[in-house]
Amino acid sequence: MTSKTWTWLGSASAAALLAASPVVAAPPEKPTLAIPAGDLASALPSFSRATGLQVLADPALLSGKHTQGVRGQFDAERGLAELLRGTGLTFVRNGGAAILRPAAQKVSTEANPAAAAPRAEAVPARADEPTELEELVVTGGFANSLARALNEKRKAANVVDAISAEDIGKFPSNNIAEALQRVPGVAITRDRGEGLFIRVRGLGPNFQIVTLNGRSAAVNENMRDSGQSGRQFRFDTLPSELVAGVEVGKTPLASLDEGAIGGVVDIKTFRPLDLGRTTLALSATASHPELAGKTDPRVSGLASWTNAAGTFGVLAAAVYDERTLRQDRITGVGWSYPSATTTLGKSLIAQGVQLYATNIRPTLEREDRKRKGVVLSAQYRPSDATEITLDGSYTKLDDHYDELTYSVDPDLSTLVAGSAVIKDGVMMGGTANTNSQIGREVSDLAHDNMMVAGKIRQKLEDWTITGDLAYARAYSETSKPITRTRLQGSMGRATFNLPQAGDGLPDVSLLTADLNNPSLLPFRRIEWRVNNATDDETALQFDAERPVSLGPVSRLQFGVKFRERSRSYNRADINYTTNLTGKFFGADYFDPFPVTDFLGGASAGLPTRWAMPDPAAFWALRDPNQKGTARADQRNSYRVSEKIGAGYALGDIDTNLFGAPLRGEVGVRVAQTKQVSSGHADNGTAALPVRFEKTYTDVLPTANFALELTETLQARVAAAKVITRPSLADLAPRLTLNSGTLLTAVGGNPLLKPFEAWQYDATLEWYFAPGSALIGGAFYKDITTFVYSQNTNIVVDGQTYVLTSPTNGGKATIKGVELAYQHLFKRLPAPFDGLGFLANYTYTDTAATYSPTLKDEMVNVAKNSFNVTAFYEKDCFAARASYSWVDDVLQDVGGAGLSALNDKAFGSLDGSVSYKITPQITAAIEGQNLTKASQRQFIKGGWFGGYTNYGRTVSFGLRAKF
Angle ∠(36,42,46) on CA atoms, nearest 5 = 65
Q: pTM value?
A: 0.81
Instruction: Please give the pLDDT value at position 14.
Output: 30
Summary mean pLDDT of the chain: 85
Predicted confidence band of residue 90 (pLDDT cuts 50, 70, 90): confident
Comparing CA positions, the residue from 65, 71, 72, 78 lying closest to residue 38 is 65
Q: Report cis status (omega within 30 of 0) of the bond before 770.
A: no
- Residue 246 or 705, more confident: 705
Comparing CA positions, the residue from 399, 403, 374, 575 lying closest to residue 476 is 399
What's the rounded Cα separation, in Å, for the pair 558 and 464? 11
Instruction: Please give the pLDDT value at position 484.
Output: 95
CB atoms within 10 A of CB 22: 6
* CB-based contact 752:731 (threshold 8 Å): yes
Q: Strands 553-576 and 590-591: what pairing?
A: unpaired
Comparing CA positions, the residue from 889, 802, 876, 880 lying closest to residue 846 is 889
* CB-based contact 234:219 (threshold 8 Å): yes
What's the rounded Cα separation, in Å, for the pair 300 and 338? 57
CB atoms within 10 A of CB 292: 21
Amino acid letter at 502?
A: G
Residues 720-754 have pLDDT tens digits of 999 999 888 888 888 777 765 567 777 788 888 89
Average pLDDT over residues 609-625: 94
Angle ∠(123,128,131) on CA atoms, nearest 5 = 50
Predicted confidence band of residue 416 (pLDDT cuts 50, 70, 90): very high
Predicted confidence band of residue 894 (pLDDT cuts 50, 70, 90): low
Average pLDDT over residues 811-819: 93
Q: Give the DSSP letter string of 707-757.
A: EE-SSSEEEEEEEEEEEEPPPTTTTS--EEE-SSSS-EEEE--TTPPPEEE
pLDDT of 211 higher than 70: yes
pLDDT of 483 higher than 50: yes
Backbone phi and psi for residue 176, each to the nearest 5 degrees, phi listed first:
-65, -35
What's the rounded Cα separation, in Å, for the pair 559 and 501? 52
* CB-based contact 373:242 (threshold 8 Å): yes
Q: Residue 833's beta-bridge partner residues? A: none
SS (H, E, C) 610-665: CCEECHHHHHCCCCCCCCCCHHHHHHHCEEEEEEEEEEEEEEEEEEEECCEEEEEE
Angle ∠(874,877,879) on CA atoms, nearest 5 = 95
H-helix or E-strand spanning residue 466: strand 463-497
What's the rounded Cα separation, in Å, for the pair 528 and 481? 7
Residues 902-935 have pLDDT tens digits of 899 999 999 999 999 998 899 999 999 999 999 9
Instruction: Please give the pLDDT value at position 109.
Output: 28
CB atoms within 10 A of CB 247: 23
Rounded to 10 degrees, what is the CA torsion of 852, 858, 860, 864? -160
* DSSP secondary structure code for residue 44 in this structure: H
Instruction: Please give the pLDDT value at position 516.
Output: 92
C-alpha separations of 97 from 9, 12, 57, 94, 364 in Å: 11, 11, 10, 5, 70
Residues 1-36 have pLDDT tens digits of 333 323 232 333 333 333 333 333 333 446 778 888
Q: Strands 638-657 and 799-808: what pairing?
A: unpaired
What's the rounded Cα separation, in Å, for the pair 391 and 386? 17
What's the rounded Cα separation, in Å, for the pair 467 and 561? 10
Query: E-strand spans in 340-383?
Result: 355-383
Instruction: Please give the pLDDT value at position 175.
Output: 73
SS3 532: strand
Q: Strands 89-94 and 38-39: what pairing?
A: unpaired
Backbone phi and psi for residue 833, each to the nearest 5 degrees, phi listed first:
-70, 0
Q: Strands 772-785 and 812-824: what pairing?
A: antiparallel
SS3 97: strand
What's the rounded Cα separation, in Å, for the pair 273 and 384? 13
Residues 101-155 have pLDDT tens digits of 776 433 332 333 333 333 333 344 433 433 333 333 333 467 777 887 888 888 8
Percent with pLDDT over 70 in the chain: 89
SS3 751: coil
C-alpha separations of 944 from 405, 507, 741 in Å: 18, 12, 21
Residues 29-77 have pLDDT tens digits of 467 788 888 788 878 877 876 776 778 776 667 877 888 888 777 778 8
Instruction: Please give the pLDDT value at position 604.
Output: 65
Predicted confidence band of residue 615 (pLDDT cuts 50, 70, 90): very high
* CB-based contact 306:278 (threshold 8 Å): yes
Instruction: Please give the pLDDT value at position 586.
Output: 92
- Residue 109 or 404, more confident: 404
Comparing CA positions, the residue from 182, 201, 176 lying closest to residue 260 is 201
* CB-based contact 267:276 (threshold 8 Å): no
Instruction: Please list, in sequence order, all residues whose beta carbon lies within 8 angstroms of the beta carbon of residue 659, skipping any fewer than 6 positions away.
Output: none
Instruction: Please give the pLDDT value at position 24.
Output: 32
Instruction: Please give the pLDDT value at position 539.
Output: 97
Residues 308-364 have pLDDT tens digits of 988 999 999 999 999 999 999 999 888 888 989 889 899 999 989 999 988 899 999
pLDDT of 277 higher than 90: no
**Rg from Cα positions in the chain:** 30
* DSSP secondary structure code for residue 36 in this structure: P
Range from 5-19, 216-230, 301-315, 576-590 carrying the lowest mean pLDDT = 5-19
Percent with pLDDT over 90 in the chain: 53
Instruction: Please give the pLDDT value at position 133.
Output: 30
What's the rounded Cα separation, in Å, for the pair 528 and 534? 21
Residues 500-530 have pLDDT tens digits of 887 788 999 999 999 999 899 999 999 999 9
**Edge to edge, what strands does the sheet with 744-747 contain?**
735-737, 744-747, 799-808, 787-796
SS3 96: coil
Average pLDDT over residues 866-880: 92
- Reported as half-sphere exposure (CB side, CA atoms, 13 A), residue 32 has a value of 19
Going 487 to 488 to 489 to 492, the CA torsion angle's sign is positive
* CB-based contact 72:35 (threshold 8 Å): no
Question: Helices (H) and strands (E) in the chain — how many of each?
Answer: 11, 53
Describe the crossing of helices 76-83 and 40-51 by its angle, rounded to 10 degrees.
170
Instruction: Please list, in sequence order, all residues whose beta carbon lies within 8 angstroms of the beta carbon of residue 478, skipping any fewer than 6 positions away.
Output: 223, 443, 444, 445, 446, 529, 530, 531, 532
Instruction: Please give the pLDDT value at position 742.
Output: 65
* End-to-end C-alpha distance for the chain, whole angstroms: 30
Instruction: Please list, in sequence order, all residues whose beta carbon lies within 8 angstroms of the beta carbon of residue 308, skipping any fewer than 6 positions away.
Output: none
Average pLDDT over residues 255-274: 91
Instruction: Please give the pLDDT value at position 501.
Output: 82
Average pLDDT over residues 156-178: 72
